[in-house]
Amino acid sequence: MKTGLSIVAVIVGFLGLTWLLQGNNFFMYKVFGLRYEQTRRQIFEQSRAFNQGMVQELENMRFEYIKANPEQKQALASIILHRASGYNLNDPIVPGELRVFLSQLRNEGR
């Protein structure tokens, strides 16, 4: 009988400890979650993979813009400028040709 109660007490204690830790994780996420996610986003945006991917995507969009007819160019220009709006074009990985292209699109839109 004592052994059975001891086993039940250990199981209940383990479940209580698990519940306490999960509650603590929830509280910590509730307090620090936004800062944590903002930091993750900043680190991701500074990564080489993100920057190379963004440059490649903008270069592909530029190529599509060059091939497009005038009606398509207007729509593509809007999409390209929207996509590039939050990106740091002063990053050394961005080719000068791409900077000039985006500058020209901005000037044409005015």
pLDDT tens-digit readout, 30-85 = 788 889 899 999 999 889 999 999 999 999 999 999 999 988 999 999 999 999 99
Please tell me whether residues 3 and 25 are part of one structural domain: yes
Do 1 and 33 fall within a single domain? yes
Residues 5 and 27 reside in one and the same domain = yes
Provide the pLDDT for residue 62.
Answer: 95
Between these two residues, 26 and 58, which has the higher pLDDT value? Answer: 58
pTM of the model: 0.68
Are the beta carbons of 55 and 93 closer than 8 angstroms? yes
- Which has more confidence, 18 or 77? 77
Mean pLDDT value of segment 1-20: 82
CB 83 within 8 A of CB 57: yes
> Which domain does 95 fall in, by range?
48-109
Are residues 53 and 105 part of one domain?
yes
Q: Is the pLDDT score of 110 beyond 70? A: no
β strands within the chain, DSSP E: none
Based on the domain organization, do 63 and 104 belong to the same domain?
yes
* Total count of domains within the chain: 2
Distance (Å) of CA 49 to CA 56, 96, 98: 10, 19, 18
In a shared domain, residues 54 and 102: yes
